[in-house]
């Protein structure tokens, strides 16, 4: 399979993406350098961005994942479910959701509310790309 043949246009170069990741990691260092935050990735789409961020983040922290889905087989049910919850106790902790693309906002809204119910000290979102025209 020749992926380059299938591409119509490159929107961001690898260098631009890595520069943005370093910029985000620097912002995280400034805000969370002494707070021992928990970084949460929502599987499965976040894996590549999450791995890049893990390598770039230089603050003492904890990493965790959760998996949510609105699908049963290949059909969307329209209702989000937690398939695998985080294992960390985040009550009173500073938490950052790592998100590769902020698209419709449905899964991020669900994730945010779910994590807020666990009473973190703070909860913020760090996203690489934003598609505001798809927001619901």
Q: Which of 103, 109, 130, 133 is catalytic?
A: 103
Contacts of 108 (CB under 8 A, 6+ apart): 42, 97, 99, 102, 125
Examine the residue annotation and report whether 34 is marked as an active-site residue of this protein: no
Tell me the catalytic residues: 103
């Amino acid at each position: 399979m020749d992926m380059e043949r299938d591409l119509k246009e490159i929107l961001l170069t690898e260098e631009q993406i890595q520069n943005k990741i370093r910029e985000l990691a620097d912002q995280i260092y400034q805000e969370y350098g002494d707070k021992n935050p928990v970084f949460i990735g929502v599987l499965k789409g976040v894996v590549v961005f999450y791995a890049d961020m893990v390598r770039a983040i230089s603050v003492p922290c904890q990493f965790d994942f959760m998996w949510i889905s609105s699908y049963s087989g290949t059909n969307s049910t329209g209702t989000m479910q937690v398939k695998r919850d985080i294992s960390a106790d985040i009550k009173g902790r500073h938490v950052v959701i790592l998100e590769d693309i902020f698209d419709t906002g449905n899964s991020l809204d669900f994730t945010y509310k779910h994590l807020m119910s666990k009473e973190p000290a703070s909860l913020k979102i760090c996203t690489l790309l934003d598609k505001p025209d798809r927001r619901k």
